[in-house]
Amino acid sequence: MTMTQKKEISGAAKIIDGSALAKRLRASIARHIEVLVEDHKIMPGLAVVIVGDDPASQVYVANKHKLAEKAGMRSFVHALPKNTSQDEVLKLVKSLNAQKKVHGILVQLPLPKQIDADTVLKAIDPLKDVDGLTIENMGRLMAGLPGLIPCTPMGCVLLAKEALGQNLTGLHAVVIGRSSLVGKPVAQLLLRENCTVTVCHSRTPQLPHITRQADILIAAVGKAGLVRADWVKPGATVIDVGINRLADGSLAGDVAFDEVSGVAGHITPVPGGVGPMTIACLLGNTVVAACRQNELTVPHIS
């Protein structure tokens, strides 16, 4: 379903246009890159490692590469065959850690079964961990210290602030999902915004009763159409992180969009919501990483 079709279907809810917000964010990033290049002769460099031929991963990596170059940074794509060993991936990551032209490293997940993702992520220099998934960066997020923040959670919070006028203080946020990729870090970011945060998961009893209390509802479980209209408080802001491939090949989120858009105050579409923001935040993290590695003031990208 296209963005235009979603706008036509939406009832009470206003669509939070992640594509438009991401475009503005990328423009801001491009301006900061111009300053880095002109004033400091530094061009941020992003290296992406992809192993195998997963179709969705191939699309994601191609988009990252295109948008990184469009923003004015170097983009290095290392595409490895599906049978690549873990030792070979680790060797590549360590090589990228040492390359001065590479300021950010992202290993595209999922990885083939012979490679342990945790082991690979641990090998990334935390200063270059632009996905924010190393233990050090996750720990700094928990402690409220400066670090590189996971991209999808950052995008979720920016979308909520776009819908609600930037100030989230005092709002009740409910997160469905407790993964280290989205659920846990987005809860920490919402706490930073002075929200009251409830994290739910597969073992949470009476889940719809809890979600109906949310001023901000973030769904990140990977189950198409899980969140229905009667799960949502009227007027709530709903952020749908899910990207699920249906039998007919179309994409659907974790939220039943047609139903929920008639109840929510604001809602993100799938596609066109969280996805574009994830890539924009990745590019922003690369600029932040380049500044920190060169002991420059970190710009506020918005």
How long is the chain?
302
Active site residue 64: yes
What is the distance between the alpha carbons of residues 103 and 288, in angstroms, rounded to a whole number?
9
pLDDT value at position 293? 97
Phi, psi torsion values for 28, nearest 5 degrees: -65, -40
In this prediction, residues 173-197 reach a mean pLDDT of: 97
32-86: pLDDT as tens digits: 999 999 999 999 999 999 999 988 889 899 999 999 999 999 999 999 999 999 9
Which domains, ranges and CATH numbers included, belong to the chain? 40-125 (3.40.50.10860), 150-275 (3.40.50.720)
**Which residue in 6, 17, 108, 184 is the catalytic one?**
108
227-243: pLDDT as tens digits: 999 999 999 999 999 99
Active site residue 184: no
pLDDT greater than 50 at residue 1: no
**Which residue in 6, 64, 128, 184 is the catalytic one?**
64
The four Cα atoms 123, 129, 132, 136 give a dihedral, to 10 degrees, of: 60
255 — pLDDT class (breaks 50, 70, 90): very high
Active site residue 131: yes
